[in-house]
Amino acid sequence: MDLDLMAQKYINDGYLIVPEIFDQTTVESIKAEIPKFRDGTYPIQDPLNLVDKDSKLLAVHFPHWVSRPIFETLDHPKIKEVLQIIVGAHIPHWDGRVKCMQSMLFLKPPGFPGQAWHQDERFIPTRDRSLVGVWIALDDATLDNGCLRVIPGSHKMGKLWPTRPHNETEEFDLSDESYGFDSDDEEIVELKAGSAVFFNGYLLHRSLRNLSDTSRQALVHHYMNAWSNLPWQIGADRLVDAATHDHRMIVPVAGDDPYPERGIETSPNEVFLRPWGDGMEWGNWNA
């Protein structure tokens, strides 16, 4: 990998495709974890919120809280190598320190919806625009099964676009859509299993319904500059002091934690499940 060229592409486009982040053995080990969130092996919050877990489960949030194999991917050498050149590429004198605050498993079985245009910084706000999502395909992500779509360069000005409810429930889940921008430059991001796309938290992206007869599973981690406070509060109530609040349920990934005196909050020994189906409401824990 030419790291300088990768950093420049990320700065210009807001995203970066890196093939073969995980080998096949790692991909299969992660996929082997997925049934454990359905069969009771791993504890979940409010298990009664799913009528039929096998058919209604769209995503698992914070799987690294309970799954050791998933936790061990947070600082995977290939992921860390890229993060240490792109997370703070726009920040003078950044020293390469990175922390992780979130993981997700997207399961997206056949027929399941995608998510309308959105920006991850709306859900996980950083103070220095350093949020990076790492979206790793566990199955081949194709046009038919609802791969990611992005608008290159939409991250540059650091604008959070307004959001509103949408009525395209056959195509997208219930999350609000971002609007007010030109989407003519949309690019389709197809990936082979084990490959990843790294994208900035301000990059506009979406996915469409899975029209294939197979699942489109993916593992997603979110990272940021370890020096920056994280004014984030998990759950529906995110009203915190943006100047001083620092969410500390984190995992240092590259370099030491620059604030050891603040401690690291212990994560719950349970995960959140994201259902999908008629009449199912779900708190927007971020997608």
pTM value is 0.92
Task: In whole angstroms, give the CA distance from residue 69 to residue 19.
Answer: 21
- Measure CA of the first residue to CA of the last residue in the chain; give whole Å: 29
180-191 in b/e form (b: 16+ CB < 10 A) is eeeeeeeeebbb
Residue 64 in domain: yes
Domain housing 122: 3-275
In a domain, 112, yes or no: yes
| Residue 246: inside a domain | yes
- 122 lies in a domain? yes
Nearest partner of 71 among 62, 79, 84, 80, judged by Cα: 62
Task: Classify residue 121 by its DSSP letter.
Answer: G
236: in domain: yes
Cα gap 49→206, rounded to integer Å: 26
pLDDT in tens, the chain (287 residues): 688 899 999 999 999 999 999 999 999 999 999 999 988 899 988 665 554 545 578 899 999 999 999 999 999 999 999 999 999 999 999 999 999 999 999 999 999 999 999 999 999 999 999 999 999 999 999 999 999 999 999 999 999 999 999 988 888 888 889 999 999 999 999 999 999 999 999 999 999 999 999 999 999 999 999 999 999 877 655 556 777 899 999 999 999 999 999 999 999 989 988 877 644 444 444 43
Q: How many domains in the chain?
A: 1
229 is a domain residue: yes
The CATH number linked to 119 is 2.60.120.620
Q: Is 287 a member of any domain?
A: no
Interior CA angle at 178 toward 173 and 179, to 5°?
125
Q: If you write DSSP's letter for every residue of 20-41 in order, what string do you get?
A: -SS-HHHHHHHHTTGGGGTSSS
Q: Is residue 98 part of a domain?
A: yes
